[in-house]
Amino acid sequence: MKKITLTERTINRIIKKVILEMDEESFDLTTINEWDNIWFKLRKIHTSFGFPENDGVYSFGGLFFFYDESDGCLKLPSQDPYDWRRTKEEGIEVLERYYDRLTNIFEKSDLGLSIDMGRDYSMIICKN
């Protein structure tokens, strides 16, 4: 194996190149135009998907997801189960059914989408 000598300048150049490559990968976010296209494809699969609105609002049934440009995902704010039914348990059931339906649709769609639900019944949809 040949012995090489690295100068400080060469090391700095290598480090800068690695940092630039890392930044390029981390900023590969899904744009609002891409979400519009995805939502139209989902609408063909299931009629509960509404037409995307100009201001980055995407609906499914009674859920309204908002585009978050900081991470390129769609977010449903926290939900109060009482807004969905008379009792908390019934409201939770409704929200969990929505979550299950979306999960099943995303798995069958092959669009590379994932959904997560938080303890506050917020949801986030991201493209993998």
Q: What is the pTM of this model?
A: 0.78
List, for residues 11-54, the tens digit of each pLDDT value.
777 777 776 666 545 557 999 999 999 999 999 999 999 999 88
Asked whether residue 79 is domain-assigned, the answer is yes
Asked whether residue 2 is domain-assigned, the answer is no
Strands (E), 1-128: 57-60, 63-68, 73-76, 113-117, 123-127
The boundaries of the domain holding residue 52 are: 32-127
List, for residues 91-125, the tens digit of each pLDDT value.
999 999 999 999 999 999 999 999 999 999 999 99
Asked whether residue 17 is domain-assigned, the answer is no
Q: What is the distance between the terminal CA atoms of the chain, rounded to a whole angstrom? A: 41
Structure-token pair, residue 78: 């926290």
Asked whether residue 99 is domain-assigned, the answer is yes
d(CA 44, CA 23): 35
d(CA 34, CA 21): 23
Total domains present in the chain: 1
